[in-house]
């Protein structure tokens, strides 16, 4: 019992350091790991205690193990997203879809744009890039910006929380030892109803929010003749999804000993997928359109700076997970939570949701919950990909005042705090709850 108390005290300390004292999240993770290791020594027998060298080694091992397999994927994903944004591919996709759907279904065009562009784009970049586009469409159609914006932002939120190659879902795939391709396929099945219900359906009740958006948030748009083609833009943005999904389906249909299976296995490796996607994006969105190689490389280098903070957060969460393993506390947690006889999907979602509401960061919530719940998956019949999705869905639950996204939405759309709760926070809650329901339904068939 004392060990469990130490764990929950450590998580509470993490919440206080991040949410109340506003400490850098990576530093907060390291402090909590040290606190946990030392506090466990106090309540344990001398033979079971960890020396300070063991504790720091555990932290280093956790960071190395977690980031070793993820850094390449996360960095490549950020590079591809930056290329899609800077080249005008995102603008081309939005313009093309709006022409196809017309004014009557303009929400659906924005929702699809958010989904396609949200696959490679890191969330904060996608938000900043897409919101001025929403304002442009709102001015053109004379429709409320909130009414138009919620469907697109629901798409961005879902891709950020559910789908590889985004940092948090990618890290969760590793934590639960899931297959990335299958996670992406199941994630798409869960994501579609979540986006539709939180986007076009929910936003039907938001036409009364007619505030003019803040005028200082404007973005320069490229001339039409400087944009890449529609097909090129979509393929460049969705190439990671297409490769992961296609190779996973091929592997399900052919014999494991066949040459086709071996080729699909190689092409479906996440590192190879992201490398091919970045090389393709650099060529078709940059070099082929006359960009000097220096500009292409500069754009990709800027992308690394954009994602560096997330990499550190993921590393810190890996250190905490390793502390739980090396201190053997994960075994105690497994026994304690296992005796509750709660569905592991509901348990993962609940813990992630609780941490999300407390801390504000979806990434911190998802990865911390995975460190606690992952030992439970061993020996159960729950598909690990569904554990990834349930945890990711929980990490999006009820964004409020401790989440930067809450304040970005409030300021960009010129809303009061009360109205932000009634629009943004409810949208995030719908995305989270529908995601859990989708996982529970899929669990009946997988």
- The whole-number pLDDT of residue 340 equals 67
Tokens for 240? 């990671």
Count of other CB atoms within 10 angstroms of residue 284? 21
pLDDT on residue 352:
92
Contact 164, 170 (CB under 8 A): yes
Question: What is the predicted pLDDT for the residue at 314?
Answer: 85
Quick one: pLDDT band at residue 69, thresholds 50, 70, 90? low
pLDDT at 230: 93
What's the alpha-carbon Rg for the chain, to the nearest Å? 22
Choose from 51-55, 165-169, 222-226, 300-304 the range with maximum mean pLDDT: 51-55
The confidence band for 214, taking pLDDT boundaries of 50, 70 and 90, is low
Residue 190 has pLDDT above 90, yes or no: yes
Given phi > 0 = left and psi -120 to 50 = alpha, else beta, which region is 46? alpha
Among 221-230, 335-344, 387-396, 398-407, whose mean pLDDT is lowest?
A: 335-344
The arithmetic mean of pLDDT across residues 359-363, rounded, is 84
In angstroms, rounded to a whole number, what is the distance separating the alpha carbons of residues 18 and 26? 9
From first CA to last CA, the distance across the chain in angstroms is: 35
Tokens representing 60 are 């280093």
Whether the link from the prior residue into 165 is cis, omega within 30° of 0, is yes
Q: Work out the mean pLDDT of the chain and round it to a whole number.
A: 88
What mean pLDDT is predicted for residues 184-198?
Answer: 96
- In this structure, of 51-55, 221-225, 308-312, 407-411, the range with the lowest mean pLDDT score is 221-225
In whole angstroms, what is the distance from residue 304 CA to residue 75 CA?
A: 6
Q: What percentage of the chain reaches a pLDDT higher than 90?
A: 50
Q: How confident is the model at residue 349 (pLDDT cuts 50, 70, 90)?
A: very high
Residue scoring higher pLDDT (195 or 4): 195
- Phi and psi (nearest 5°) for 195? -70, -45
Q: Where on the phi/psi map is residue 142: left (φ > 0), alpha (ψ -120 to 50), or beta?
A: left
Please write the tens of the pLDDT for every residue from 106-154.
999 999 999 998 888 778 778 877 887 888 888 888 899 999 999 999 9
12-30 mean pLDDT: 88
pLDDT at 335: 66
Q: Two tokens at 236?
A: 């460049």
Top-ranked range on mean pLDDT: pick from 5-14, 41-50, 232-241: 232-241
């Amino acid at each position: 019992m004392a060990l469990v108390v130490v764990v929950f005290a450590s998580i509470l300390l993490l919440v206080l350091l991040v949410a109340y004292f506003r400490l850098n999240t990576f530093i907060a993770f390291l402090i909590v790991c040290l606190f946990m290791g030392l506090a466990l020594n106090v309540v344990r027998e001398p033979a079971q205690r960890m020396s300070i060298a063991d504790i720091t080694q555990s932290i280093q091992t956790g960071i190395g193990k977690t980031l070793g397999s993820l850094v390449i994927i996360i960095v490549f994903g950020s590079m591809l997203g930056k290329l899609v944004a800077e080249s005008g591919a995102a603008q081309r996709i939005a313009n093309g879809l709006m022409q196809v759907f017309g004014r009557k279904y303009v929400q659906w065009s924005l929702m699809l744009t958010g989904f396609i562009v949200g696959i490679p784009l890191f969330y904060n970049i996608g938000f900043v890039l897409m919101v001025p586009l929403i304002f442009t469409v709102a001015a053109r159609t004379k429709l409320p910006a909130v009414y138009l914006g919620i469907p697109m932002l629901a798409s961005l939120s879902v891709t950020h929380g559910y789908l590889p190659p985004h940092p948090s879902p990618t890290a969760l795939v590793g934590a639960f030892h899931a297959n990335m391709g299958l996670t992406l396929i199941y994630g798409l099945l869960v994501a579609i109803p979540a986006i539709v219900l939180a986007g076009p359906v929910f936003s039907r009740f938001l036409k009364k929010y007619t505030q003019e958006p803040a005028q200082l948030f404007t973005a320069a748009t490229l001339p039409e003749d400087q944009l890449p083609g529609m097909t090129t833009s979509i393929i460049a943005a969705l190439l990671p999804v297409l490769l992961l999904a296609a190779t996973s389906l091929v592997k399900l249909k052919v014999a494991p000993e066949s040459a086709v299976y071996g080729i699909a296995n190689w092409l479906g490796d996440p590192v190879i997928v992201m490398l091919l996607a970045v090389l393709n994006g650099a060529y078709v969105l940059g070099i082929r359109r006359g960009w000097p190689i220096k500009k292409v490389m500069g754009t990709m280098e800027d992308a690394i700076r954009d994602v560096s903070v997330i990499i550190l957060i993921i590393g810190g969460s890996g250190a905490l997970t390793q502390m739980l393993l090396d201190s053997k506390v994960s075994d105690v947690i497994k026994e304690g939570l296992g005796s509750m006889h709660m569905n592991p999907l509901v348990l993962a979602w609940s813990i992630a949701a609780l941490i999300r509401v407390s801390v504000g960061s979806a990434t911190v919530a998802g990865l911390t919950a995975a460190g606690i719940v992952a030992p439970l998956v061993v020996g159960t019949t729950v598909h690990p990909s569904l554990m990834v999705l349930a945890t990711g869905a929980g990490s999006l639950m009820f964004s409020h005042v401790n989440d930067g996204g809450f304040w970005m939405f409030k300021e960009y759309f010129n809303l009061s705090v009360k109205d932000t709760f009634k629009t943004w926070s409810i949208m995030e809650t719908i995305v989270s709850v529908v995601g859990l329901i989708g996982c529970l339904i899929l669990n009946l068939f997988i």
